[in-house]
Amino acid sequence: MNGLIEQWIDWLPSLVDGLGVSVQLAVVSLLIGLPLGLAEALLVASPNRIVRWITLAVVEFGRGTPTLVLLYLIYYGLPSQGLVLPAFGSAVVALSFMTGAYTSEIIRASLQAVPRGLVEAAAALGINRWGTFRFILFPEGIRIAIPALMGFAIQLFQTTSLVFLITLPELLSRAYSIGSTTFQYTSVLALAGVLYLLVTLPSGWLAALLEKRMGRHLA
Amino acid sequence: MIPLDVLGNAIVMTVVITVSSFLIGAILGVPLVLLRTSRFGVVRVLTRALIDVLRGVPPVVWIFILYFGVSSDVIKLDPLTAAIGGLGVISCAYLAEIYRGGLLSVHAGQTEAAQALGFGQVGIFTRIVAPQAFRVCLPSAATYGIGLLKDSSLASTIGVAEIAFRATAQARSGGDGITPFVIAGVLYIALSMPLAYLSRTLDTKLRMKVSV
């Protein structure tokens, strides 16, 4: 047992650095992916049929394809078209694309869940379309969307573990490389698991708490 | 181009991984939900912690723990078993929570009414609560199944020759890094369609028969 703890203390600095990369990747992908998701949610509702169909195809491809395949598509695919991105860049592109697709569905459903009466009231008050969106639909919709978006963010953080495939030194790839030199796979992967839990568990509790809070005024 | 039989085998492998791990999860989820809703507080808390841990660690980490860790320390596992085992264990946690949601959605009045009518414990569960809970669980379970189909691609990381694995091999040997992965993506979407369709039709049918 003492040996295990000493090992873990030895490995911890490298793994914590890796965790930092994982968190960074998740945050950057959210920062790009969320506005993308909002744009896609609005374009899917566009009156122009062609815009609607193209957006729908993009969203369905992003949601229906495994993230691993998206990641490979960008990491191996773009260079063959002459566009070479660093590993972090490829990971951000793939994860933001996937974030946009998933969150667009969450945002679309939330915007639809805003009571129609609010929109009608805005129209009755003479507020124009943009004003209705800016001051009524958007703030109310986002409030409804937040618990689901938090749930997605936790999922996305877990998904960052896939980028070890394109040799980005995040948590899992560091754990794996320690495992391959020491052959203590179980021990080092368990420690990596614990580090993932340190992020996912508290955020899960926070999401549940927020959901309760947000639900209070709606109930 | 990949020979058709190789492609066929890859698709079969993806389906085998998805279906087996879903079945493991669907079966193990039952005892897990019973423990999760146990009368004893300690059992409930411990089960909830187990479910949280299973769901809080990325699937690929579980697969690695089974394939690289357990396989070298305890018992030798081939890649397919490790992949199915890893995904199955995670599924049982997710499905137990889906079951729990379904059970909670059946109004307590239903159980009370059945008791008043003289149903036994087992009868209440199998004839009153379970059919209604099943109706509520079905869409979420189908959504989870589709997610699992996509997660089955993780098996490629430990060398199971399923769709993503074949696509990677093709991309590495052919120099075209786009087509194999686009085809793989379309295949996954195509595989998920019948599942979504089945879930929708079954849901509509059940809605007419059972209302919650």
Distance CA(A172)–CA(A163), nearest Å, equals 9
Residue A6: the pLDDT is 84
Give every CB contact of residue B159 below 8 A, 6+ residues apart in sequence: B79, B165
pLDDT in tens, B108-135: 899 999 999 999 988 998 899 988 999 8
Complete domains list, chain A, with CATH: 2-218 (1.10.3720.10)
Kindly indicate whether the ipTM for this predicted assembly is greater than 0.90, answering yes or no: no
Structure tokens at A38: 């909002």
Instruction: Decide which of B126 and B5 is more confident.
Output: B126
How far is A196 from chain B, CA to nearest CA, in Å?
A: 6
Structure tokens at A160: 């960052």
Give every CB contact of residue B187 below 8 A, 6+ residues apart in sequence: B11, B163
Q: Give the pLDDT mean for A98-127.
A: 93
Interface of A with B (CB under 8 A): 60-61, 64-70, 72-73, 76-81, 158-159, 161-162, 164-165, 172, 176, 179, 183, 185-187, 189-190, 192-193, 196-197, 200-201, 204
Residue B116: the pLDDT is 94
Residue A218: the pLDDT is 56
CB atoms within 10 A of CB B171: 22
Under the banding of pLDDT at 50, 70 and 90, the label for residue A217 is low
Domain ranges of chain B: 4-209
Cβ contact A185–B176 (<8 Å): no
* Longest CA pairwise span in chain B (Å): 71
- Could you give the angle at the alpha carbon of B138 between the alpha carbons of B13 and A105, nearest 5°? 85
Under the banding of pLDDT at 50, 70 and 90, the label for residue B175 is confident
Best probe of the A interface among B61, B70, B148, by most A CBs < 10 A, is B61
| Residue B150 with chain A: CB contacts under 8 Å | 64-67
Q: Give the pLDDT mean for A8-31.
A: 93
Structure tokens at B72: 């070298």
Structure tokens at B17: 């991984």
Under the banding of pLDDT at 50, 70 and 90, the label for residue B212 is low
Kindly tell me if the per-residue pLDDT of A10 is higher than 90.
Answer: no
How far is B121 from chain A, CA to nearest CA, in Å?
A: 32
| Residue A78 with chain B: CB contacts under 8 Å | 177
| Residue A196 with chain B: CB contacts under 8 Å | 56-58, 61
- Could you give the angle at the alpha carbon of B140 between the alpha carbons of A140 and B162, nearest 5°? 120
3-state helix, strand, coil in chain A (%, to 5): 90, 0, 10
Cβ contact B184–A64 (<8 Å): no
| Residue B188 with chain A: CB contacts under 8 Å | 64-66, 69
Under the banding of pLDDT at 50, 70 and 90, the label for residue A203 is very high
* C-alpha separations of B104 from A164, B97, B129 in Å: 39, 10, 10
Residue A213: the pLDDT is 81
Helix (H, G, I), strand (E, B) or coil at A209: helix
Under the banding of pLDDT at 50, 70 and 90, the label for residue A7 is confident
CB atoms within 10 A of CB B48: 14
Interface of B with A (CB under 8 A): 52-53, 55-62, 64-65, 68-70, 72-73, 150-154, 156-157, 164, 167-168, 171-172, 175-178, 181-182, 184-185, 188-189, 192
Mean pLDDT, chain B, rounded, equals: 91
| Residue A190 with chain B: CB contacts under 8 Å | 65, 69
Kindly tell me if the per-residue pLDDT of A219 is higher than 60.
Answer: no
How far is B165 from chain A, CA to nearest CA, in Å?
A: 10
Cβ contact B58–A176 (<8 Å): no
Residue B2: the pLDDT is 65
Residue of B55, B72, B188 with shortest CB distance to A66: B188
Q: Give the pLDDT mean for A175-201.
A: 92
Q: Give the pLDDT mean for A189-214.
A: 91
Is B18 within 8 Å of B148 (Cβ atoms)?
yes
Is B25 within 8 Å of B92 (Cβ atoms)?
yes
Residue B47: the pLDDT is 96
Residue A84: the pLDDT is 84
Is B72 within 8 Å of A185 (Cβ atoms)?
yes
pLDDT in tens, A34-83: 999 999 999 998 899 999 999 999 999 999 999 999 999 999 888 877 88
DSSP single-letter state for residue A164 = G
pLDDT in tens, B14-39: 999 999 999 999 999 999 999 998 88
Residue of B153, B164, B181 with shortest CB distance to A77: B181
Q: Give the pLDDT mean for B41-49.
A: 95
Kindly tell me if the per-residue pLDDT of B169 is higher than 50.
Answer: yes
Residue of A69, A192, A193 with shortest CB distance to B153: A69
Distance CA(A43)–CA(B183), nearest Å, equals 26
Q: Mind giving me the DSSP string for B83-141?
A: HHHHHHHHHHHHHHHHHHHHHHHS-HHHHHHHHHTT--HHHIIIIIIHHHHHHHHHHHH
| Residue B152 with chain A: CB contacts under 8 Å | 66
Residue type at position A81: Q
What CATH superfamily is the domain B4-209? MetI-like (1.10.3720.10)
> What's the whole-model pTM score?
0.89
Distance CA(B89)–CA(B76), nearest Å, equals 18
Q: Give the pLDDT mean for A178-186.
A: 89
Distance CA(A74)–CA(A97), nearest Å, equals 10
Residue of A65, A185, A201 with shortest CB distance to B69: A185
Q: Give the pLDDT mean for B155-161.
A: 93
Kindly tell me if the per-residue pLDDT of A102 is higher than 50.
Answer: yes
CA dihedral B48→B53→B54→B57, nearest 10 degrees, is 150
| Residue B73 with chain A: CB contacts under 8 Å | 185-186
Distance CA(B20)–CA(B91), nearest Å, equals 11
